[in-house]
Chains A and B, each alone.
Chain A
């Protein structure tokens, strides 16, 4: 009898999860999200790095599934960039980053931590976290919904290094 409860809840859903969708259209949407994030690296992140004199250390980007392994739901694109500390106070660096984000058309938000400033544009959220020892920058997309196959295809890709020019 107890098996039945699992069957009710999960058998139906597992059997029907991940159906439908045009894989090519889904891939195009994921690729577009990725390109938007990488363009931001080349544009506003460079602007902020120049303004606050950040030294680039390393960076990469990848995809991760939105849900669980049994129901991936889609993918999230993530960019991770690592810099040295700003050449100014954290407060000033946050101000300069906010200004550059606004100029570049991002909706700027100060979530509460005085060392962090965020920008939202489309499905991407760009975050600068400044500190005395380092600066961490991330761009994280919201979940791009896809079929399970397409989600796993992207999530299985290896991390790709960011080419910082």
Chain B
């Protein structure tokens, strides 16, 4: 009876020396520099000869700026090549990471199998039949080990080749002569022609997405650095490309505006834009190392970047995960007082939702925070402007306009989606739910809609609003959610938590009865049971959602306090008897007048 030859345990798979996220950061920095160089070139071409110059002076100036522009173009061409190389390197690292994952899993399984067989052999008496079986299994394991070792070696070689190729690509453009050749290369992307093609399709996400897919990597990168603001905000462009364009725009904006600030040339509008850009940069920098563990790519993507929009409030959309590749995508729309400067709290809640959803499934998940509408944003306690802006919260006008913009954004996500269409959920909180409601009314192409702390939506029933499944989170002691309820002023539409509305209401807790906690009740939907339910809906685990009864004034299960009742109860619980009568009289007077003016549950059509 011969010896049984077991293979040795296979050594670990080495980690990649470069990471996809760091390659992406390098590429982002290169893009920002490229954008600035292109700005300089455009400036030189625009301002070549000062007005009024004639004769020799004109000729000399023209000659000088032409030479300058040509030299700048050489740098630009070299940077374009470097950006393409960095972009390609990032993709290769992602693929290498995926292959590594498979190799690590194979190694783990194989080593377990070898260890198991060794223990079996050591712990049992060798009889002829079992030895033959052990030898057959050992032979299979030897084959598997040899294959795995070969595959690991091939992977190591490919990783080294990726590094070498990247270094070689950079070295090909690190001298002036090489830059000159790159600039004169007939295959260099035609930025002007590409820009015209982009302009023809902008506003049509499906056409833009289809056209974008036909472009080469070099063409995409050229257009992206030529028109970063336009490409980054164009619905239909893939989210990863939007992110690259928006980061380039962000960093070059900050650099340009900071220089203007130092020179004392910053306008008020630019000051707001700079402040907004800095808030976004701070949030991105805080998450620079955050990656998708499966791919090693950056987790966070900037999908909209408009720092100067909406009278200085700014517009922004940021995603955790890649919506184009995710199987489940959610987009949440905030409400009153939302502007770019309130990004930290909003992103924290979006991140919490992403964690809650991702924790439930091995499917891929992307969670987007979207603020690209003029949300009522002023603080009415601090300024006249705040009162003016805040006043729009009582009317549906901002929600109507915002709903249209939101629809365009969702159309863009649908157009750039890869593979099977994602399960898509729209979430609106507070006034954002009214905004989502207006988008739903116009046929928003989502699978689920979640309305949180809603002051009202523009239809009487879920079925009239949308074909999507409608979910409602409403704490009975969230006064904003009572605006559209029976006996509420209803200036923004119907309370979707009403039983008669026909949506599915989920458990959120009722909230604290104290009047001091009124806004806390309104702002705590992204925690606890409510957050668990949101996560389940986002990943389409409807069976895991804990339901609540719809509001029904005259049934025991659905009973809820009306706004006047809530005011009285809250005052009693929060402040004690002495002020109860005053609050009761004041609250009832005000609400009575509102009800007379608008009617219970009335919506603005």
Contact B519 A133 (CB under 8 A): no
Given contacts A8-B587, A113-B360, contact A136 B290 (CB under 8 A): yes
Contact B294 A69 (CB under 8 A): no
> A11 to B336, alpha carbons, bound, how many Å?
13
Contact A66 B290 (CB under 8 A): no
Contact B345 A5 (CB under 8 A): no
- Chain B residues proximal to chain A, CB less than 8 Å: 12, 15-16, 19-20, 94, 97-98, 100-102, 104-105, 108-109, 286-287, 289-296, 336-337, 341-342, 344-345, 348, 352, 355, 358-362, 379-381, 390-391, 393-395, 455, 479-480, 482-483, 489, 491, 515-520, 522-524, 527, 563, 567, 574, 583, 587, 590-591, 593-594, 597-598
New A-B contacts (17) at CB < 8 Å, excluding given A72-B345, A131-B293, A132-B97: A5-B491, A10-B336, A10-B380, A20-B516, A53-B12, A57-B289, A73-B524, A85-B15, A89-B105, A91-B108, A113-B362, A118-B359, A127-B355, A131-B294, A132-B100, A135-B293, A155-B345
Q: Does A13 lie at the interface of the complex (its beta carbon under 8 Å from any beta carbon of B)?
A: yes
Contact B593 A133 (CB under 8 A): no
Which A residues lie within 8 Å of B523 (CB)?
66-68, 71, 73
Chain A 33-59, CB-CB to B under 8 Å as 1, else 0, gives 000000000000000000001010110
The contact of A134 among B296, B336, B352, B527, by CB within 8 Å, is: B296
The contact of B293 among A53, A64, A114, A133, by CB within 8 Å, is: A133
Contact A116 B359 (CB under 8 A): yes
Which A residues lie within 8 Å of B522 (CB)?
13, 71
CB-CB nearest in chain B for A130: B293
27 contacts between A and B (CB under 8 A): A2-B391, A3-B394, A6-B394, A8-B591, A13-B519, A14-B519, A16-B515, A17-B519, A57-B289, A60-B286, A71-B522, A72-B345, A73-B519, A80-B287, A87-B104, A89-B104, A89-B108, A91-B108, A116-B358, A118-B359, A127-B355, A127-B359, A132-B105, A132-B294, A133-B291, A134-B293, A140-B355
Q: Does A62 lie at the interface of the complex (its beta carbon under 8 Å from any beta carbon of B)?
A: yes
> A6 to B591, alpha carbons, bound, how many Å?
11
> B570 to nearest A CB, angstroms?
8
Chain A 132-165, CB-CB to B under 8 Å as 1, else 0, gives 1111101010110000000000010001000000
Q: Does A9 lie at the interface of the complex (its beta carbon under 8 Å from any beta carbon of B)?
A: yes
Given contacts A14-B381, A133-B20, contact A6 B293 (CB under 8 A): no
Which A residues lie within 8 Å of B287 (CB)?
80
Contact B108 A92 (CB under 8 A): yes
> A68 to B355, alpha carbons, bound, how many Å?
19
Contact A62 B286 (CB under 8 A): yes
Q: Does A65 lie at the interface of the complex (its beta carbon under 8 Å from any beta carbon of B)?
A: yes
Given contacts A113-B362, A133-B100, contact A68 B337 (CB under 8 A): yes
Contact B567 A8 (CB under 8 A): yes
Contact B293 A68 (CB under 8 A): no
> B313 to nearest A CB, angstroms?
12
> A92 to B574, alpha carbons, bound, how many Å?
52
Contact A55 B15 (CB under 8 A): yes
> B112 to nearest A CB, angstroms?
9
Contact B104 A5 (CB under 8 A): no
The number of residues on chain A lying at the interface, defined by a beta carbon within 8 Å of a beta carbon of chain B, is: 71
CB-CB nearest in chain B for A129: B293
Sorted nearest first, the 4 A-B pairs with minimum C-beta distance are A132-B101, A131-B293, A133-B296, A67-B523
Chain A 65-84, CB-CB to B under 8 Å as 1, else 0, gives 11111111100101010101
Q: Does A25 lie at the interface of the complex (its beta carbon under 8 Å from any beta carbon of B)?
A: no
Which B residues lie within 8 Å of A78 (CB)?
348
> A70 to B109, alpha carbons, bound, how many Å?
53
Q: Does A90 lie at the interface of the complex (its beta carbon under 8 Å from any beta carbon of B)?
A: yes
Q: Does A1 lie at the interface of the complex (its beta carbon under 8 Å from any beta carbon of B)?
A: yes
Which B residues lie within 8 Å of A68 (CB)?
337, 342, 345, 519, 523
Contact B518 A4 (CB under 8 A): no
> A63 to nearest B CB, angstroms?
10
